[in-house]
């Protein structure tokens, strides 16, 4: 048996159709709130494979969605390029502003794989326990979105 979510993307009819929701692991789940409270800050939450895997899997256990969405953040890309990033509680993400060419030149020319290793570990942890019929979705931001 395949993954119903992937089958539908390949134009196959599945009854019932698989479901996934944008932000399916989010602030509305009490179990998310409990894990989030243990993490310290949002960046540490994203970079902790055990906690990020748990958050990825919570909606699957609770609702039985057809796809899990990897819990991470698009701002890990600038983080992996060496830009300082932090999340201000109640405000959201903050990055040191890049206001001139020197700011661009200060970034690493390629992403630091070591800074992204926790994301790869999260993927491995999720795949170990994700039901075989459930797809795993990643996500990314367009360059302008990430730069903005």
Phi-psi region of 83 (alpha: psi -120 to 50; beta: other; left: phi over 0): beta
The predicted pLDDT at position 90 comes to 81
Domains in the chain, number: 1
Residue 49 lies inside a defined structural domain of this protein = yes
Residue 148 lies inside a defined structural domain of this protein = no
Structural domain span for residue 67 = 4-139
CA dist 147 and 97 (Å) reads 10
pTM assigned to the model: 0.86
Is the model's pLDDT at 146 over the cut of 80? no
| pLDDT level of residue 1 (50, 70, 90 thresholds) | low
Residue 144 lies inside a defined structural domain of this protein = no
Residues sharing a CB contact under 8 Å with residue 47, sequence separation 6 or more, in sequence order: 76, 118, 119
Residue 103 lies inside a defined structural domain of this protein = yes
pLDDT in tens, 84-138: 988 777 888 888 888 999 988 999 988 888 999 999 999 999 999 999 999 999 8
Residue 145 lies inside a defined structural domain of this protein = no
Domain harbouring 19, CATH code:
3.20.20.210
């Amino acid at each position: 048996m395949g993954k119903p979510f992937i089958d539908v993307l390949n134009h196959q009819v599945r009854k019932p159709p698989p479901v996934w929701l944008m932000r399916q692991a989010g602030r509305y789940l009490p179990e998310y709130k409990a894990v989030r409270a243990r993490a310290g800050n949002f960046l540490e939450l994203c970079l902790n494979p055990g906690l990020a895997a748990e958050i990825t899997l919570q909606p699957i256990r609770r609702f039985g969605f057809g796809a899990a969405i990897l819990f991470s953040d698009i701002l890990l890309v600038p983080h992996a390029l060496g830009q300082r990033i932090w999340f201000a509680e109640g405000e959201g993400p903050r990055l040191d502003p890049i206001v001139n060419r020197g700011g661009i030149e200060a970034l690493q020319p390629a992403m630091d794989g070591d800074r992204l290793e926790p994301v790869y570990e999260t993927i491995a942890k999720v795949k170990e326990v994700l039901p075989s019929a459930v797809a795993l979705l990643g996500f990314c931001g367009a360059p302008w979105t990430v730069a903005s």
